[in-house]
Amino acid sequence: MSWGKKVLIVAPGSRGDVAPISGVGARLRAAGFEVAVAADKEFAALIEDARLEFRPLIGDARAAVGTEVVQASARDGAVSRSSAKLLKVAKQWFRDLNVDVAGHTVGSGADIVLFNSQGTAAYHVAEARGIPSVGLHLQPQQPTAELPPMVLGRSLGRVGNRLAGRLVRGLERMYFANMNEIRAELDLPPTTLAATYRKQAAEEWPLLHGFSNHVVPRPRDWRPGLEVVGYFWPAMPTGWTPPEDLVRFLDAGPPPVFVGFGSANPGDAEGLGRTVTEALRRAGMRGVIQAGWAGLAAGDAADDMLSIDDVPHEWLFPRMAAVVHAAGAGTTAAGLRAGVPAVPVPVAGDGPFWSHRLALLGVSPGPVSYKKMLTAERLADAVREAVANPAYARRASEVAAVLATEDGVDQVVRTVEKLT
């Protein structure tokens, strides 16, 4: 029986990392578990609205992505001097986060802990306490010959993918920076990142990936325990109703194009807003422009453009002609669920991977680089192609129909019930 058993879910990161966890937590609560979620303070309302206990993690993710070093990396791309500088900042951030995650896990009284790729300190606390743990990833981060690393996007062939995956995995050492200090406080012997992965493989430790096999097929060279289970859909806010001005705008004309970059913040929100507005007008489309963490807004006040704040994508996207976004895992999933064409503009992190995946699926004409987007003409061409070519909408509808038959959270619940 699950009644009264406690689950801690550790979910550092942005909204795209946390919102799917709200859906996981809500279903676990419905199954009889007591659920607490440790996440950035920005998402307290999102978690509590799902009737889950909220525990704030250290730091301020929104402020962090607004710093110059993060903005420069977003503008310049993953392979750049700016990103090299960002890695130095990230090392200290992960040291602090590891200590905080360990503290939350130790004090949680949980019977099982679930965590994403940034919450790996929870794994070591679970080992010390003798309780089970489960990884919940929204991207395929384990090295494989069949997929490129997230930051590259395009396949390098089987040999190239595996070599690049190992190289990128080496960067995960920064996650591990002070893990042996934490293990010493837990009376655990020292270990290495490689030894941890070997231990997980030997035990077939469960790492469940929250995306569809129809979107990213499970690599055949993954070890047992690495599973692709289907998307984790966010919990819908209770009592939510759409803003009246948004409803009026949607009713006043044909479906518009959504533009939003979520938690990505490349800076110069005013200039970016002007570019987006110009591009949509060149494409002959109305626009719904979401502020996000970049503070994006329409370049001018006019009847054909509407600036909005947070609106649930599961409600908004099905009403769009196409969606333009930074191709993070969460927004990519929402667009696929809605069955609308996509124009990805990868800005950081997993954006390159999901951008190219959307093109391979046939729901997108392909990614537009952030720098090329700033000319407006390139973005306008991509939007025009995504909307005018019926093949993209047809394929998007087919993918959405498949996703509607899947239930990734069910596998999480069954795994937790089995382990507890």
Quick one: which H or E segment has residue 344?
Answer: strand 342-344
Which single residue is written with the structure tokens 């903005």? 71
Residue count of the chain, please give it: 420
Same domain, yes or no, for 120 and 184?
yes
Question: Quick one: which of 140, 164, 210 has its CA closest to 354?
Answer: 140
Provide the whole-model pTM.
Answer: 0.92
Count the domains in the chain.
2
Considering the domain architecture, whether residues 229 and 300 belong to the same structural domain is answered as no
Instruction: Say if 393 falls within a structural domain.
Output: no
214-260 residue pLDDT tens? 999 999 999 999 999 999 999 988 889 999 999 999 999 999 999 99
* Same domain flag for 186 and 120: yes
- For residues 214 and 257, state if they share a domain: no
Task: Give phi and psi for 326, each to the nearest 5.
Answer: -85, 5
d(C-alpha 4, C-alpha 29), whole Å: 10
Instruction: Name residue 159's amino acid.
Output: V
Is residue 364, in this structure, part of any structural domain at all? yes
Which CATH number goes with the domain that contains 305?
3.40.50.2000
- How many whole angstroms separate alpha carbon 374 and alpha carbon 361? 26
Tokens (6 digits) for 165: 């995956």
Task: Please say whether the beta carbons of 340 and 318 come within 8 A.
Answer: yes
State whether 354 and 264 are in the same domain.
yes
Handedness of CA 114, 50, 329, 15 (dihedral sign): negative
The rounded distance, in Å, linking the Cα atoms of 414 and 213 is 18
Among the listed residues 282, 265, 278, the one whose alpha carbon sits nearest the alpha carbon of residue 290 = 265
Same domain, 11 and 84: yes
Whether 89 is covered by a domain: the verdict is yes
Residue 75: predicted pLDDT: 60
Q: Is residue 380 part of a domain?
A: yes
pLDDT averaged over every residue in the chain: 90
Instruction: Return the closest-CA partner of residue 120 out of 61, 168, 166, 172.
Output: 172
Most confident of 1-5, 168-172, 267-271, 400-404: 400-404
Say if residue 193 is in the same domain as residue 268: no
Q: Would you say residue 159 lies in a domain? A: no
Distance CA 270, CA 374 (A): 12
Residues 318 and 339: their CA atoms lie apart, in Å, by 7
Domain match, 314 and 221 both: no
Q: Are residues 182 and 325 in the same domain?
A: no
The C-alpha angle with vertex 349 and arms to 280 and 331, in degrees rounded to 5, equals 50
168 part of a folded domain: no
pLDDT of 3 > 80? The answer is no
Given a cut of 70, whether residue 65 has pLDDT beyond it is: no
pLDDT at 76: 60
Whether 148 maps to a domain, the answer reads no
- Kindly tell me if the per-residue pLDDT of 406 is higher than 60: yes
Are residue 78 and residue 181 in the same domain, yes or no?
A: yes
How far is 208 from 1, CA to CA, in rounded Å? 22
pLDDT of residue 85: 67
Do 56 and 185 sit in the same domain of this protein?
A: yes
| Residue 33 pLDDT greater than 60, yes or no | yes
Whether 157 is in a domain gets the answer: no
Q: Are residues 378 and 255 in the same domain?
A: yes
Q: Tokens in use for 184? A: 């010493």
CA distances from 6 to 36, 59, 101, 114, 259 (A): 8, 25, 17, 11, 39
Q: What DSSP state is assigned to residue 199?
A: H
Range of the domain at 66: 6-138+175-235+406-419
Backbone angles phi, psi at 38, to 5 degrees: -100, 120
